[in-house]
């Protein structure tokens, strides 16, 4: 029982209500209570709230998962790699990583496969070119491709909303279509979902929710009618949900609870009936273990990948308890919103913090309410179980997820929140019925909710237009995020590339304070050192650029992007070395060649230049030391071998 009080109604109206709820909809009627009308409302809300994302480009992780993902760019020919690789394997190959870059790996191939299919439709990219016009055309195509992907994301969100409405009408509120509609509307309009819809990469969240809802719908069809076709579809949908995102695994627990709550099947029988779902679970586990490599060495030694690395045991426990209260706050008041809450935006705390105890009391209370409500087979019990089931896998309790929290991570749990809000509004409506005040109150409340949510959502969608708009906004919202400070600086660095000289210098100077802040927050964050070194180099401050380059080499000598700074800096030092060497100022020539060798330690030619200058200055021991390192890298290098003979002869 859902504990929703039924109001008296004439026999014909009751029969119409029963007809609507058998199968979840009336096919040939467009009355205000029909599934068709409610589905149209839900779909239109999704469209109106997110249609302004259609003109957006890529932002944040879109570049990593789509634009720079070589498997996606191969179109359908990259499918086999997508389904047999970690989600970030393509990136890992580019950085010569020998394993996955996050604890537990990320195996979510379904959304990435949809990106590859889109790429096939939109046209595969051409090979590298030096032609400026061709490069510009390729950049424009990437942007136009993202417009199409945004449209697909919104359509999938609309479809998910309609399927969730069906799920709510059929399973959660079978005798109260209005409660189902209210819950679906609360879910669809919640501004906390902007990251999921506006950031195309988060399509994995949408697909996961879609297939989880379909798993329940088809599963309940099977349990009601013993229809093997429905069972097959349910198992398939569950596998697709798992392939969309890992934490669909909680369906294993939620399905029995749903049967217990809404079908009044005893809990032990519910679990026995749901054992069949272990079959697709086993298939998924086999696929995952064959695709995901062991975690790369040293990954969890970096605080950006292990947010509690620097916390004491007490601080870690207290902070993990504290974080969920932030989710509740954002569910109740979704402002301000941000793309990143990583180190150090969520500071470590301890048990002297009153918010830690508040979070503990609130969540213990909600857990107790969940248990009591489930015993009564009450809808609130299932809603809370759904909330907690999806929250636990992303809470850092069982697995390091890399960040303390993120808005996209509460997407699934927000359905439980929406069900509770919809239920409470409906109960208020019931208490006021049949007076005209009931419709006015509910209509006014929902109108206010939709208008306020629409304003926040549509405004936030504009922030997600591109990396530039997102990080310029969010660096004000989350000023202690290392990542956001670095990315905000990158915005100014990109803008400086084609700017006139004075404007270029001004933009670079604007970037440096953000990079200083990122380094202050995390002294080992190499990308901030790299970007700051680029700024200093382009401003002509070569000594500071050299210092930052040395730091990057110290912490991450094989960083692929290091060449952006090390290459130009090494060239500058080599040219200076050649200039002073030509003028027989050997000491200065050696100094500059040494600097060049420092920033590009794996460049054989530059190392040989330094060795040659040592030989010229008759500093043979130093020459042999350099050449020894060169010959370890390139044992058959002719220039190095000749120089070694000269240095050995000179002794």
- Give the residue-averaged pLDDT of 416-432: 96
DSSP, collapsed to helix, strand or coil, labels residue 540 as: coil
User: What's the pTM value of the predicted model, to 2 decimals?
Assistant: 0.91
Q: Name the least confident of 141-155, 176-190, 616-630.
A: 616-630
pLDDT of residue 15 exceeding 50, the answer is no
Q: Tell me, what's the pLDDT at 25? A: 45
Determine the Cα–Cα distance for residues 32 and 29; give it in Å rounded to an integer: 9
Which of 364, 450, 384 minimizes the C-alpha distance to 187? 450
How many Cα atoms are found within 13 Å in the side-chain-facing hemisphere of 67? 21
May I ask the CATH architecture of the domain 481-558? Alpha Horseshoe (1.25)
- Give the residue-averaged pLDDT of 156-179: 97
- Please identify which residue in the block is written with the tokens 């006015």: 440
pLDDT of residue 6 exceeding 50, the answer is no
Helices 11-21, 177-189: crossing angle, 10 deg rounding: 50
Q: Tell me, what's the pLDDT at 301? A: 78
pLDDT of residue 103 exceeding 70, the answer is no
Which of 366, 417, 455 minimizes the C-alpha distance to 187? 417
- Give the residue-averaged pLDDT of 66-74: 92
The total number of residues shown for the chain amounts to 651
pLDDT of residue 3 exceeding 50, the answer is no
pLDDT digits (tens, 9 = 90+) for 609-635: 999 999 988 899 999 999 999 999 999
What percent of the chain is modeled with pLDDT above 90?
78
pLDDT digits (tens, 9 = 90+) for 190-218: 999 999 999 999 999 999 999 999 999 99
Q: Name the least confident of 135-149, 286-300, 420-434, 476-490.
A: 286-300
Average model confidence (pLDDT) across the chain:
91
pLDDT band at 298 (very low <50, low <70, confident <90, very high): low
Determine the Cα–Cα distance for residues 251 and 202; give it in Å rounded to an integer: 20
DSSP, collapsed to helix, strand or coil, labels residue 98 as: coil
Which of 536, 473, 425, 398 minimizes the C-alpha distance to 183? 425
pLDDT digits (tens, 9 = 90+) for 360-382: 999 999 999 999 999 999 999 99
More confident residue, 315 or 303: 315
The contacts found for 454-458 with CB under 8 angstroms, 24 or more apart, are 454/48, 454/49, 454/189, 456/191, 456/334, 456/335, 456/337, 457/49, 457/50, 457/189, 457/191, 457/193, 457/194, 458/49, 458/52
Q: Tell me, what's the pLDDT at 109? A: 96
Pure H helices in 466-603: 467-477, 482-496, 501-521, 526-538, 542-555, 563-582, 586-599
Portions of the chain given CATH number 1.25.40.10:
481-558, 566-650
pLDDT of residue 292 exceeding 70, the answer is yes
pLDDT of residue 4 exceeding 50, the answer is no
Exposure of 123 by Cβ count < 10 A (0-12 exposed, 13-18 middle, 19+ buried)?
exposed
Q: Tell me, what's the pLDDT at 297? A: 64
pLDDT of residue 275 exceeding 80, the answer is yes
DSSP, collapsed to helix, strand or coil, labels residue 25 as: coil
- Give the residue-averaged pLDDT of 46-65: 95
pLDDT of residue 285 exceeding 50, the answer is yes
- Structure token pair of residue 194: 């902007």
Q: Name the least confident of 24-38, 51-65, 196-210, 366-380.
A: 24-38
- Give the residue-averaged pLDDT of 404-420: 97
More confident residue, 138 or 54: 54
What class, spelled out in words, does domain 566-650 have in CATH? mainly alpha
pLDDT band at 104 (very low <50, low <70, confident <90, very high): low
More confident residue, 266 or 131: 266
Distances (CA, A) of 241 to 55, 215, 220, 587: 29, 8, 17, 66
pLDDT digits (tens, 9 = 90+) for 542-568: 999 999 999 998 888 888 899 999 999
- Structure token pair of residue 435: 């007076």
Q: CB of 311 within 8 A of CB of 349?
A: no
Determine the Cα–Cα distance for residues 51 and 227; give it in Å rounded to an integer: 39
Q: Tell me, what's the pLDDT at 88? A: 80
pLDDT of residue 91 exceeding 80, the answer is no
Exposure of 587 by Cβ count < 10 A (0-12 exposed, 13-18 middle, 19+ buried)?
exposed
Q: CB of 237 within 8 A of CB of 103?
A: no
On the question of a cis peptide bond just before residue 45, with omega within 30 degrees of 0, the verdict is: no
pLDDT band at 102 (very low <50, low <70, confident <90, very high): low
pLDDT band at 219 (very low <50, low <70, confident <90, very high): very high
- Structure token pair of residue 437: 């005040």
Q: CB of 485 within 8 A of CB of 76?
A: no
């Amino acid at each position: 029982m859902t504990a929703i009080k039924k109001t008296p109604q004439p026999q014909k109206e009751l029969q119409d209500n029963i007809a609507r709820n058998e199968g979840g909809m009336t096919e040939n009627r467009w009355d205000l209570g029909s599934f068709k009308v409610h589905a149209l409302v839900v779909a239109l809300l999704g469209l109106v709230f997110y249609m302004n994302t259609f003109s957006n480009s890529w932002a944040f992780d879109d570049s990593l998962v789509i634009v720079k993902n070589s498997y996606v760019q191969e179109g359908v020919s990259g499918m086999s790699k997508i389904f047999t690789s970690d989600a970030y394997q393509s990136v890992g190959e580019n950085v010569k990583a020998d394993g996955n870059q996050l604890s537990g790996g990320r195996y979510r191939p379904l959304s990435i496969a949809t990106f590859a299919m889109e790429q096939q439709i939109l046209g595969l990219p051409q090979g590298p070119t030096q032609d400026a016009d061709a490069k510009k055309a390729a950049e424009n195509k990437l942007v136009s491709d993202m417009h199409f992907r945004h449209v697909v994301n919104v359509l999938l969100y609309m479809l998910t909303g309609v399927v969730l409405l069906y799920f709510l009408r059929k399973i959660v509120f079978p005798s109260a279509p209005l409660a189902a509609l209210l819950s679906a509307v609360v879910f669809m309009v919640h501004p906390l979902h902007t990251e999921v819809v506006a950031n195309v990469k988060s399509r994995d969240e949408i697909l996961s929710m879609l297939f989880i809802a379909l798993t329940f719908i088809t599963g309940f069809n099977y349990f009601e009618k013993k229809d093997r076709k429905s069972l097959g579809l349910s198992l398939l949908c569950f596998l697709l949900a798992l392939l969309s995102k890992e934490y669909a695994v909680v369906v294993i627990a939620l399905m029995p609870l749903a049967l217990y709550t809404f079908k009044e099947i005893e809990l032990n029988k519910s679990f026995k009936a749901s054992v069949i779902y272990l079959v697709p679970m086993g298939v998924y586990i086999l696929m995952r273990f064959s695709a995901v490599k062991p975690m790369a060495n040293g990954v969890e030694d970096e605080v950006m990948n292990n947010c509690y690395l620097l916390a004491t045991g007490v601080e870690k426990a207290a902070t993990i308890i504290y974080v969920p209260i932030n989710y509740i706050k954002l569910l109740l008041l979704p402002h301000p919103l941000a793309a990143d809450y990583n180190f150090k935006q969520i500071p470590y705390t301890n048990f002297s913090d009153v918010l830690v105890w508040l979070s503990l009391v609130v969540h213990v209370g909600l857990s107790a309410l969940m248990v009591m409500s489930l015993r009564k087979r009450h809808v609130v019990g299932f809603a809370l179980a759904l909330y907690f089931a999806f929250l636990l896998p992303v809470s850092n309790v069982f697995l390091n997820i890399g960040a303390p929290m993120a808005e996209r991570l509460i997407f699934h749990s927000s359905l439980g929140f929406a069900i509770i809000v919809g239920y409470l509004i409906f109960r208020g409506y019931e208490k006021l019925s049949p007076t005209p005040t009931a419709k006015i109150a509910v209509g006014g409340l929902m109108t206010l909710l939709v208008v306020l949510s629409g304003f926040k959502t549509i405004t936030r969608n504009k922030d997600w237009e591109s990396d530039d708009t997102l990080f310029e906004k969010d660096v004000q919202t989350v000023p202690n995020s290392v990542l956001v400070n670095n990315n905000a600086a990158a915005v100014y660095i990109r803008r400086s590339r084609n700017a006139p000289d004075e404007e270029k210098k001004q933009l670079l100077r604007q970037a440096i304070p953000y990079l200083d802040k990122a380094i202050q927050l995390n002294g080992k964050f190499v990308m901030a050192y790299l970007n700051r070194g680029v700024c200093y180099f382009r401003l002509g401050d070569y000594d500071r650029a050299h210092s930052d380059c040395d730091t990057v080499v110290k912490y991450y000598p094989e960083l692929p992007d290091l060449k952006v700074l090390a290459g130009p800096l090494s060239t500058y030092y080599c040219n200076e070395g050649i200039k002073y060497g030509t003028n027989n100022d050997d000491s200065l020539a050696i100094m500059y060649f040494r600097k060049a060798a420092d920033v590009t330690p794996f460049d054989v030619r530059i190392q040989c230049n330094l060795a040659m200058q040592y030989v010229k200055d008759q500093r043979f021991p130093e020459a042999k030391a350099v050449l020894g390192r060169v010959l370890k890298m390139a044992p058959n290098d002719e220039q190095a071998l000749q120089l070694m003979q000269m240095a050995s002869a000179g002794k």
